[in-house]
């Protein structure tokens, strides 16, 4: 008999203790996962450029990572719905670890195709990170959902900021192990993900998703098990507020991935050292995660739509700075920090909006589809960014991305209800 088939009724105090313990476990897991991703993200574009011999392929590092996250998003959601968050998160972390080892092995044999495939496998680590933010909200109320989501998003700061600064030590590790250039960070990533898998397996008990489906009071009109069987795309067709949240998440992620993925290539082509590139990405990642609790609190108090609009305004500022300050490292770094802040605001608020627009039984399937579309958008942004960078340079890329920010603003404008003519049917 599964956890879901034999629910246990718990007091609000007991549920509160479990919620706090769950968030603590997710925080620790995100620190480990962030360390792995941060160590690898700064090396991905450089490794692909090295093995392919062309900057035009550099964007494929971010593309394959986000494509992998997209591929694994729905299977992880299905696994969570059937077996709980503990199984899906630990499985995802273990597969991400295998992907990190495979990247280094593929580089050793000089196969650019296998490097790209391995980066896609490693992308499951990003997929489980996205799922972890939803896991933080499984036992939350609407009044605290933004804050709980943002705490788990914030925890990634510690590992993700430290990761790019391990560029030098990771290269020394790779050299000591006889590995090719730019692969030491992937060994660090694999080790961190294995520790994360062990943590989720041991500590994420009871499972927050299965517990929420079995013990929390369902909203009026809940369709129970039938809603859980309904697919995420079907649910989105019936929920305009959910659709708006998903589009916001997808376009905001595409904007961030496109500019962030091309910045190491832009900087190194202008003679910037790997140490400075690592510091720049660390500051960007700090922007993505460090102040997310602020955006979570603002989401709970002001509403998701307001915080999304704040995020797009920050995006626009970042893109203008990148356009006109492309030859100034300080301005590029400032633009990357603001890019991270804009992503944080849009992601925290958009995720809370998505959860608030759905019944508990509808959330796992819809969250999986949301992460699928979010990562597909990021993959497309990363792929096109390399081409755009080669054609019209870094400033041209930044200007093109302003269109995506404008599109997100446009969908936040409420539509006026249609007026019916008196006497018409």
Residue for token pair 């580089």: 107
What is the separation, in whole angstroms, between the first and last Cα of the chain?
A: 53
Beta-carbon contacts of residue 140 (< 8 Å; ≥ 6 apart):
19, 148, 149
Nearest Cα residue to 266 out of 168, 344, 335, 188: 335
Following DSSP, what letter does each residue of 277-295 receive, concatenated?
A: HHHHHHHHHHHHHTTHHHH
pLDDT at site 390: 79
Nearest Cα residue to 261 out of 113, 44, 36: 44
pLDDT at site 299: 93
CA 157 to chain CA centroid, Å, is: 13
Tens of each residue's pLDDT in the chain, 425 residues: 444 444 456 777 888 888 889 999 999 998 888 776 666 666 777 788 888 877 667 667 777 887 888 889 999 999 998 899 999 999 999 999 999 999 999 999 989 899 999 998 988 888 888 888 889 888 887 778 888 888 888 887 776 667 666 767 777 777 788 788 888 888 888 988 999 999 999 999 899 998 888 744 444 344 444 445 567 888 898 899 999 999 999 999 999 988 987 887 778 777 667 777 777 877 888 888 888 999 999 999 999 999 999 999 999 999 999 988 777 888 888 999 999 999 999 999 999 999 889 887 888 889 999 989 988 888 788 778 878 887 888 888 889 999 999 999 999 987 655 554 444 44
Nearest Cα residue to 288 out of 250, 248, 315: 315
Return the biggest CA–CA distance within the chain: 82
pLDDT at site 39: 62
pLDDT at site 160: 65
pLDDT at site 187: 87
pLDDT at site 97: 94
Nearest Cα residue to 57 out of 119, 140, 150: 119
The structure tokens listed for 156 are 């990634």
pLDDT at site 217: 41
pLDDT at site 240: 92
pTM recorded for the entire structure: 0.76
pLDDT at site 370: 93
> Which letter does DSSP use for residue 359 in this model?
-
Following DSSP, what letter does each residue of 3-19 receive, concatenated?
A: TTTS-----HHHHHHHH
Cα 4 to Cα 170: distance, rounded to the nearest angstrom: 43
pLDDT at site 7: 47
pLDDT at site 146: 86
Cα 350 to Cα 277: distance, rounded to the nearest angstrom: 30
What structural domains does the chain harbor?
Answer: 12-213+226-412 (1.20.1250.20)
Q: Is 125 helix (H, G, I), strand (E, B) or coil?
A: helix
- 3-state DSSP: the chain helix, strand, coil percent, rounded to 5? 80, 0, 20
pLDDT at site 253: 93
pLDDT at site 6: 45
pLDDT at site 224: 46
* Residue 84, phi-psi category: left (phi > 0), alpha (psi -120 to 50), beta (remainder): left
């Amino acid at each position: 008999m599964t956890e879901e088939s034999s629910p246990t009724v718990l007091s609000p105090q007991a549920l509160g203790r479990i919620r706090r313990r769950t968030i603590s476990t997710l925080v620790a897991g995100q620190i480990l996962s962030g360390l792995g991703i941060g160590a690898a993200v700064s090396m991905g574009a450089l490794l692909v450029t090295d093995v392919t011999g062309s900057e035009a392929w550099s964007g494929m590092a971010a593309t394959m990572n986000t494509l992998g996250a997209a591929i694994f998003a729905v299977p992880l959601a299905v696994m969570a719905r059937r077996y709980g968050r503990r199984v899906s998160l630990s499985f995802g972390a273990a597969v991400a670890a295998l992907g990190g080892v495979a990247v280094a092995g593929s580089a050793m044999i000089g196969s650019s195709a296998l490097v790209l495939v391995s980066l896609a496998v490693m992308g499951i680590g990003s997929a489980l990170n996205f799922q972890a933010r939803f896991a933080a909200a499984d036992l939350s109320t609407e009044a605290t959902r933004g804050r709980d989501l943002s705490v788990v998003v914030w925890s990634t700061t510690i590992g993700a900021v430290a990761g790019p600064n391990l560029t030098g030590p990771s290269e020394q590790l790779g050299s000591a192990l006889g590995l090719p250039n730019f692969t030491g960070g992937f060994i660090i990533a694999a080790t961190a993900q294995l520790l994360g898998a062990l943590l989720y397996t041991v500590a994420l008990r009871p499972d927050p998703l299965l517990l929420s489906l079995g013990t929390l009071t369902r909203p009026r009109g809940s369709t129970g098990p039938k809603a859980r069987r309904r697919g995420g795309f079907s649910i989105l067709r019936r929920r305009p507020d959910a659709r708006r949240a998903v589009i916001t998440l997808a376009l905001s992620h595409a904007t961030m991935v496109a500019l962030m993925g091309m910045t190491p290539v832009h900087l190194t082509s202008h003679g910037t050292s790997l140490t400075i590139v690592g510091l720049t990405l660390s500051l960007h990642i700090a922007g993505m995660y460090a102040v997310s609790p602020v955006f979570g609190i603002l989401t709970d108090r002001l509403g998701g739509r307001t915080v999304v609009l704040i995020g797009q305004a920050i995006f626009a500022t970042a893109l203008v700075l990148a356009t006109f300050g492309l030859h100034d490292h300080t301005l590029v770094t400032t633009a990357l920090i603001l890019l991270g802040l804009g992503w944080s605001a849009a992601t925290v608020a958009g995720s809370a909006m998505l959860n608030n627009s759905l019944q508990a039984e509808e959330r796992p399937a819809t969250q999986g589809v949301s992460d699928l579309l979010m990562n597909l958008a990021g993959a497309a942004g990363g792929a096109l960014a390399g081409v755009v960078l080669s054609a019209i340079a870094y400033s041209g890329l930044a200007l093109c991305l302003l269109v995506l920010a404008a599109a997100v603003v446009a969908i936040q404008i409420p539509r006026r209800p249609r007026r019916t003519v008196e006497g018409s049917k």
